[in-house]
Amino acid sequence: MKIPFYQVDAFASEVFFGNPAGVCLLDRWIDDSRLLAIAAENNLSETAFLVRSGAGFDITWFTPVTEVALCGHATLASAYVVFNYLDWTDDTVLFQTRKSGRLSVKRKEDMLEMDFPSRPPSRQQAPDGLDRALGGKIQDVLSSKEFLLVVLKDENEVRSLRPDLSVLERLDILGTIVTAPGLQCDFVSRFFAPRVGIPEDPVTGSAHCVLIPYWARRLGKNRLHAWQVSKRGGELFCEDCGERVKIAGRAAIYLEGAIYV
């Protein structure tokens, strides 16, 4: 089987920044064990798999070790491929997911804007070992579905954080978001998910389903400018829309080829 494959740097204006995602175009679904093997071979934080369906595409995402329920950067990358490499004339593309309902991505000038579910966090007690894992001065701890949201004092603390990933991996959560007010944007963040094979994700769209409602409420504004301050870094333009959030960014193609399995 020959599978068209693209690698796209999402939430970046040029290659070598943002978050690289794999995009595989399938004629039909194949066994999940084969999808996982492809994702492991790609060794990217996520690989998206697409099958044409009706007016859009069915989509799912795998890390190198497991399927995930929602992925932002690989959805942005998938939309970039649809708009630029397929015979697609509409300004919007629809994606039907296995576990997160319908998603859409709209082309807006040089950016792509995703419509995702909002996942407002609620306060919770810090899990045992969190202080030791992060080593920062934690101001607040919240949670939303699989994610833990940890609030620090300022951007410098987020940037300088050197977490103990072995401790984070033992926490009963999918991933840990660390955030603080930004110096030149509304907020910054980093994301760690060693439990699913991602020590640190460069830019995490799904984490912003949690971050956007938190910061919209805290700052009293619906439109937000964000940076994920990982080593590669990524810029996100966000909007709180109640039960949904909009997450926009740019993307750049790095690789086009084929996978043979």
Catalytic site positions:
46
- DSSP for residue 194: G
- Residue 194 maps to which CATH number? 3.10.310.10
Asked whether residue 85 is domain-assigned, the answer is yes
Asked whether residue 117 is domain-assigned, the answer is no
12 and 41 both lie in a single domain:
yes
SS3 state at 170: helix
Asked whether residue 145 is domain-assigned, the answer is yes
220 and 194 both lie in a single domain:
yes
Helix (H) or strand (E) holding 55: none
* Model confidence at 226: pLDDT above 70: yes
231 and 166 both lie in a single domain:
yes
SS3 state at 131: helix
* Model confidence at 96: pLDDT above 80: yes
CB 59 within 8 A of CB 26: no
Please give the model's pTM, rounded to 2 decimal places. Answer: 0.95
* Model confidence at 132: pLDDT above 70: yes
128 and 231 both lie in a single domain:
yes
Which pLDDT does position 92 carry in this prediction?
Answer: 98
Identify the CA nearest to 199 among candidates 8, 75, 65, 18: 65
State how far the Cα of 140 lies from the Cα of 122, in Å rounded to an integer. 10
How far, in Å, are 21, 26, 159, 179, 198 from residue 191 at the CA level? 16, 30, 11, 9, 9
The confidence band for 150, taking pLDDT boundaries of 50, 70 and 90, is very high
Number of domains into which the chain is organized: 2
228 and 255 both lie in a single domain:
no
143 and 234 both lie in a single domain:
yes
Which pLDDT does position 74 carry in this prediction?
Answer: 98
78 and 92 both lie in a single domain:
yes
Which pLDDT does position 128 carry in this prediction?
Answer: 83
* Model confidence at 119: pLDDT above 70: yes
Mean pLDDT of 96-110: 95
193 and 102 both lie in a single domain:
no
Asked whether residue 175 is domain-assigned, the answer is yes
Parent domain of 91:
2-112+248-260
Which pLDDT does position 230 carry in this prediction?
Answer: 97
Which pLDDT does position 10 carry in this prediction?
Answer: 98
pLDDT in tens, 158-174: 999 999 999 999 888 88
Query: To which residue do tokens 């399927």 refer?
Result: 67
7 and 99 both lie in a single domain:
yes
* Model confidence at 136: pLDDT above 80: no
127 and 238 both lie in a single domain:
yes
pLDDT more than 90, % of the chain: 89
The confidence band for 145, taking pLDDT boundaries of 50, 70 and 90, is confident
155 and 233 both lie in a single domain:
yes
Higher pLDDT, 197 or 4: 4
Mean pLDDT of 196-222: 96
